[in-house]
Amino acid sequence: MTPQEMYRTRPQNATPTPRRWTLVTFAAGFLLLYLAADFVVANLASSTMPLPDASADLTQRWFADNPSAAVMIGACQLLSVTCLGGFAVSLRQGAATAGQVHAARKATPWGLLAVACMALSSLLGWLLTAFAAGASLDTVAALRTASFIAGGTAHVIALGVFVLLASRIPGFGKPVRVFAIVAAVPAIASLVSLAWFQGAALILLGRLLCIAWIISAAVSATRRLARGAWSCPTAGTG
């Protein structure tokens, strides 16, 4: 029996595979809404957002002077990780074999943890925006640091672990799995940014590589769905 025939003859009560373009849609949304935050800063803010290690008074002035930009950045980030959550859940719901279910169950909580970390970062950013003008410099510094750790270090580490575990779902080929390791290493290594701020470069690198992996994984899974091979992991290497 061919992989296509096996796919068509699965029992009706078997776990459904993702709709053909669901994963690609969520992956694209994750990327585009993340990039939209830069567009918001360029068009709504009077200047570039201060880096997390900037002085508290500079941070306070920026958030007080650019409330619309700050709120929209948080909104774009939240919408972006909502798509990440959709991608993670779709992988879990689309698991069609025992091996896929087992691997997806390991990966999904880390994807949702990455979503929660960024959601917390957005919330802290909105609180900082609301109270920046009248808050003490210590409060401003604490909120900014907490937002950076939640949406930067913690989010990217969780994202890296998710990518690494999700790549082990049967159905993904060797190239996807190797790419996952390449993406996960700098993402997880960004933990050093908590002790060494220059290590924050790993946050950006890890984030971009993980987003690229999610795009490639979505395309790979969609191709396998198109030829009826997603639920037949031994068929092909796409």
Sign of the Cα torsion 17, 20, 22, 26 reads positive
60 located within any domain: yes
Name the residue among 165, 211, 172 with its Cα closest to residue 29.
211
Residue 4 — pLDDT band, cuts 50, 70, 90? very low
184 located within any domain: yes
235 located within any domain: no
Which pTM does this prediction carry? 0.86
Name the domain count of the chain: 1
84 located within any domain: yes
95 located within any domain: yes
Q: Are 203 and 118 in contact (CB under 8 A)?
A: no
136 located within any domain: yes
Instruction: Count CA atoms within 13 Å of residue 65 on its CB side.
Output: 13
26 located within any domain: yes
Which structural domain range is residue 186 located in?
21-226
Residues linked to residue 21 through DSSP beta bridges, in sequence order = none
pLDDT at residue number 230: 64
Q: For 13-51, how does the pLDDT look when each residue is reduced to its tens digit (9 = 90+)?
A: 444 445 668 899 999 999 999 999 888 777 888 888 888
7 located within any domain: no
Share of the chain above pLDDT 70, in %: 86
Identify the top-confidence range among 3-17, 20-34, 90-104, 218-232.
Answer: 20-34
Q: For 182-203, how does the pLDDT look when each residue is reduced to its tens digit (9 = 90+)?
A: 999 999 999 999 988 888 899 9
Q: For 121-147, how does the pLDDT look when each residue is reduced to its tens digit (9 = 90+)?
A: 999 999 999 998 888 999 999 999 999
